[in-house]
Structure 1
């Protein structure tokens, strides 16, 4: 929660997409090429593309797309726009399935970047 307003920090959308086997490189390329259709929307705070490490199978490779928005109305405005429809149409040929989850970010604990390796951290911690 935003400590000043007690409102959620952001509205987060997570897409789980199964991309057809063999289409991963083209999907990633097109996602990068058209990403500004999402990130240029005034309510968008950014988006991330991640490839699952262990969820791939014969039906394809699993990707997660996470995008943060100022609020839910801002996301819903984008979701119903022509810009979003075109974005979806460009990515659709690569998909064999997918789901969408929405959520409100209520807390954030930032990490502290460090040059200490995980092994060194574990040694100090113990």
Structure 2
């Protein structure tokens, strides 16, 4: 496993069409292995905003930026996006590197 400070993180903000949230969640779960099956992927999370019912955040961690960029331009990723596209009305992407990681006291014990 990559050291936390070496992880490349991607944060997606996804806006869904009103009433399409259940379809979006189901499809995301059905095709999730398109991401998690990639050797450079360390896992991903789907989060739903508590402020905006139609907004989701997807966090995915990668061994490095090169591994993510290879996946980003792959046929698997294009298929993944095409399956989710009917439920999306907009969104954005931010990429980042973890600078420091402080585990919780409970996790350190």
Could you state the TM-score of these two structures normalised by the residue count of structure 1? 0.79
Report the number of matched residues: 104
Q: Which residue is equivalent to 1:67?
A: 60
Could you state the TM-score of these two structures normalised by the residue count of structure 2? 0.90
Q: Which residue is equivalent to 1:123?
A: none
Alignment partners' CA distance in 1, 2:28 and 2:50: 19
Q: Which residue is equivalent to 1:97?
A: 90
Q: Whose radius of gyration is greater, 1 or 2?
A: 1
Alignment partners' CA distance in 1, 2:13 and 2:30: 20
Contact 1:10 1:106 (C-alpha < 8 Å) held by counterparts: no
After the TM superposition, which segments of 4 or more aligned residues of structure 1 sit over 2 Å from their partners? none
Question: Is 1:52 matched up with 2:49?
Answer: yes
Offset, 1:108: 1.2
**Any stretches of 5+ residues in structure 2 without a counterpart?**
none
Q: Secondary structure at the match of 2:19?
A: coil
**Any stretches of 5+ residues in structure 1 without a counterpart?**
114-126
Q: Secondary structure at the match of 1:13?
A: strand
Alignment partners' CA distance in 1, 2:101 and 2:38: 23
Offset, 1:107: 1.4
**Partner residue of 2:69 out of 69, 72, 76:** 76
1:10-60 superposed Cα distances (whole Å, 9 cap, x missing partner): 00000000011100011000000000000010000000000000034xxxx
Offset, 1:9: 2.3
Contact 1:15 1:100 (C-alpha < 8 Å) held by counterparts: yes
